[in-house]
Structure 1
Amino acid sequence: MRLYRRLAAATAAVLFVIAVPYEALSSSPAREDPGADPFGAACRVRTAGSRVTAYCHNPYPEPDRLQLHIECLRWWDLDGDSAPVTAGPATTVRLTGRCWHEVGAVWVSHARAGAR
């Protein structure tokens, strides 16, 4: 009975990870409103232990200012924000950061290059 519960919990966790659509993991401002001007780099975020790497590709003609935000899991671990990086048209940029221990949450913010 105990083995069945562990197997059921592990199966449910794997199905949840598989079932989460890619669009929910990587959002950009261009996907929020289909009628808006095309804008916003598509980002893939990878977490390996306490290190975070984000690769963002901007397929649009307008530059996108990107910033990586990391929220660490431990209360005493400092959260971090990367310096803003501008991704020009048809450009891929890499953003990195880390926590001392576990990573709690990660997201990438987008802004139009002319806005501050």
Structure 2
Amino acid sequence: MRLSRSLAPVTVALALVLCLPSDAAPHARGSDGKPPAPDLFGAACRTSVRGSHVVAYCHNPYTGTDRVRLHIECARWWDIDTDSAPVDTAPAMTVRLAGRCWKEVRSVWISHQKRR
């Protein structure tokens, strides 16, 4: 039995699609075509610098615990930069972090770590 020339490419394409693994075909598992929802994580933090003093408030609106740290870089070369101890911010919790330089503050940032 010989396939016509117009039917042969269609047959080959269909055979290749049927041979694909089930996770390669996007609709093979009955998904609705939407990407999976992102895993929401991370406390929202606001920082305030007044002179040489730094205060940060971090609020965690998500269900996972976020371990936050305050990092302070001082402007003077002889002034010691500081990193706070890590603080676990549980769901629906607000924490206060504070630190200071002897003189001016150059930059401030918060680091986040997912607690397992």
Tell me the TM-score normalised to structure 1 length. 0.68
Whole-angstrom distance in 2 between the partners of 1:60 and 1:74? 38
Whole-angstrom distance in 1 between the partners of 2:38 and 2:87? 23
Once the two structures are TM-superposed, the CA of residue 113 in structure 1 deviates from its matched residue by 1.2
Whole-angstrom distance in 2 between the partners of 1:74 and 1:112? 33
- Computing the radius of gyration from Cα coordinates, the structure with the larger value is 2
What are structure 1's unaligned runs of at least 5 residues? 1-34
1:92 — aligned with what? 94
Aligned runs of 1:1-116 on 2, under 5 Å?
Answer: 36-114=38-116
What are structure 2's unaligned runs of at least 5 residues? 1-36
Paired amino acid for 2:55: T
Does the residue aligned with 2:98 lie in a helix, a strand or coil?
A: strand
Whole-angstrom distance in 1 between the partners of 2:114 and 2:46? 19
Segments ≥4 residues shifted beyond 6 Å:
none
Whole-angstrom distance in 2 between the partners of 1:68 and 1:36? 26
Whole-angstrom distance in 2 between the partners of 1:43 and 1:36? 20
Provide Cα deviations, 1:25-59, integer angstroms capped at 9, x if missing partner.
xxxxxxxxxx6310000000000100000000000
Identify, as 1 or 2, the structure richer in helix: 1
Paired amino acid for 2:46: R
Tell me the TM-score normalised to structure 2 length. 0.68
Whole-angstrom distance in 1 between the partners of 2:61 and 2:109? 19
